[in-house]
Chains A and B, each alone.
Chain A
Amino acid sequence: MTTLLNVKDLRAYYGQVQALHGLSFSLSEGSLTTLLGANGAGKTTTLRAICNMVRSTGGIEFDGKPLNNRSTESIVRFGIAHVPQGRGTFTTMTVEENLQLGAITRKDNAGIVSDIERMYAHFPVLKQRHTQQAGTLSGGEQQMLAVARALMLRPRLMLLDEPSFGLAPLVVRDLFGILGKINREDKVSILVVEQNAQLALELADQAYVIETGRIVMSGNAKDIANNEEIRKSYLGY
């Protein structure tokens, strides 16, 4: 499998505070990789650094091309869709407008129209509410909308920041099922950051564990899930 995303010695800073201390990992094309770790470990910062939303040094290569020093909006054009923490919904706009915005960098209008229909097939609840102001959706529906918005880019890589946050367990199961399907059927590589380690490990094929801005563990998701020692010391279940 070819490497799609390669991160080398990544260091990130909020003002004077260093949040990542030389973090390295890679993600192969077509895989579903998860970054696990406790609160404040640097999971969100890693995703933000990939999209240049936080000051960082080190190497970030996507499909062999360096992403450093590119603006957030130009990184999107490589086919990287980022679903931020808190979902980033355009709350004052309609559900359909949110989907259109996901495809705003695309030029193929016919493709956009058919992709919106495809999203409605994936997420029927969004079709029912397509003229509704997105801020009126429930948390789970907004998360569905955020994933759908990201898919409208037809991304090669999707970055997901805590998709389970604030959702009911059943909704989370549903959502993770859809993510797995997207990964298998649409061949979208996914990098998902999660606190819900158990669920993420069930879904992922590759996993990394972060602690205070460093990778402390990596490997096959099944192996990590089966290793009681790792589970107890790093993942807390």
Chain B
Amino acid sequence: MELFTNQVLAGIATGAIYACMALAVVMIYQAIDHLNFAQGEMAMFSTFISWQLMQWGIPYWGAFIIALALSFVGGIAIERILFKPLAKAPVLTNVAGFIALYAIINSSAGLIWDFTIKQYPTPFGSSPFLGSQLISTHQAGMIGVTVLLLIGLYFFFQYTKIGLAMRAAASVPESARLVGINTSWMIALGWGMASAIGAIAGMLIAPVVFLEPNMMGGVLIYGFAAAVLGGLTSPFGAVVGGFLVGVFENLAGTYIPGVGNELKLPIALALIISVLVVKPAGLFGRQIVKRV
């Protein structure tokens, strides 16, 4: 029983990271109808920036905040430079753009910081949380930061004018322009926020998976699985999907014979395929109510 509880809690902790990645993916998907394959690489690059800042002697939370701000600006810059010109281009052109972005960020990180694995610090420590062996303080910290982030985002989108404008621009762009919303900048803002959310995920998971240019590869696939499971049109679904995938991954690795650590990743892919076959809209994918 303790093993089970332990695995569930650990699953929730990594699930928090998948939830963040899924949320970042969904935000961009809602804004431009494309999956950002480079979301993980953007998060990795942000994590490297924070690491570099710490190497220069800036304390953890200072580096965290600066990296977040830089990621936000960087996300906006990527949209303005690369994807705004592609806005009316066919799907495949956009896919090529995302793959190019993936390769460029990945190689740049390798070029600047090389491909050796680096230790990444945790501000929470890794002692048992509240004296319990079930979960470490870092895992608890991952969950805590994610929950704070989600609450913040909820209030932003529900109760601020700009959050309302962003939702409107994503749901009916033409009407949004007719009430005076600059939809183009709302998309850029979505990219900035997705980039910053990804950065949080990267910095939280780095102490676990260690820092190197390919650190987010697996995490992003779980993030995709979470987004598909929850429904690509539902930010709430993406978050729930993230936690479910985290728990499911851990339990499958522990209890299904032969899966172990090696076959955990194919489980995510199997999950993506199963959801797409059985319930393509995902668990919370919006069935848009329409009356004509």
Chain A residues close to B by CB (< 8 Å): 51, 53, 71-74, 76-77, 81-82, 84, 88-93, 97, 100-102, 104-105, 133, 135-139, 149, 153, 166
Contact = CB atoms under 8 A, between A and B. Distances in A.
A73 B181 CA distance: 6
A77 B180 CA distance: 7
A73 B183 contact: yes
22 contacts: A53-B174, A53-B177, A71-B177, A76-B177, A84-B175, A88-B172, A89-B172, A90-B175, A91-B171, A91-B172, A92-B286, A93-B171, A101-B165, A102-B179, A104-B161, A104-B164, A104-B165, A104-B180, A136-B289, A136-B291, A139-B291, A166-B292
A135 B288 contact: yes
Given A92-B288, A136-B291, A101 B177 contact: no
Across the A-B interface, give the 8 residue pairs with the lowest CB-CB distance, nearest first.
A76-B180, A88-B175, A105-B180, A72-B177, A135-B289, A73-B177, A82-B178, A73-B180
Of the listed residues B175, B179, B286, B289, the one surrounded by the most CB atoms of chain A closer than 10 A to its CB is B179
B196 to A, nearest CB: 24
A133 B289 contact: yes
Given A104-B180, A138-B291, 18 more contacts: A51-B178, A73-B177, A76-B179, A77-B180, A84-B178, A88-B172, A89-B175, A90-B168, A92-B286, A93-B168, A93-B171, A97-B164, A101-B179, A104-B181, A105-B180, A136-B289, A136-B291, A149-B179
A139 B164 CA distance: 24
Given A82-B178, A84-B174, A88-B175, A93 B291 contact: no
Nearest to A152: B179
Contacts of A77: 180
Contacts of A51: 178
Of the listed residues B168, B177, B292, the one surrounded by the most CB atoms of chain A closer than 10 A to its CB is B177
Interface string B272-292: 000000000000001011111
Contact of B290 (A84, A91, A149): A91
Contacts, number: 79
B126 interface: no
B93 interface: no
Interface of B: 161, 164-165, 167-168, 171-172, 174-183, 286, 288-292
B159 to A, nearest CB: 11
Contact of A135 (B174, B177, B291): B291
Contacts of B176: 90, 101
Contacts of A104: 161, 164-165, 168, 179-181
B240 to A, nearest CB: 18
Nearest to A84: B178
B236 to A, nearest CB: 13
Nearest to A103: B179
Contacts of B177: 53, 71-73, 76
B12 to A, nearest CB: 29
Nearest to A141: B291
Contact of B168 (A71, A101, A166): A101
Contact of A88 (B167, B178, B288, B289): B178
Of the listed residues A73, A105, A135, A138, the one surrounded by the most CB atoms of chain B closer than 10 A to its CB is A73
B286 A101 contact: no
Contacts of B171: 90-93
B51 to A, nearest CB: 40
B171 to A, nearest CB: 5
Contacts of A91: 171-172, 288-290
Contacts of B290: 91, 135
B145 to A, nearest CB: 29
Contacts of B167: 93
Contacts of A149: 179
Contacts of A89: 172, 175
Nearest to B158: A97
A121 to B, nearest CB: 21
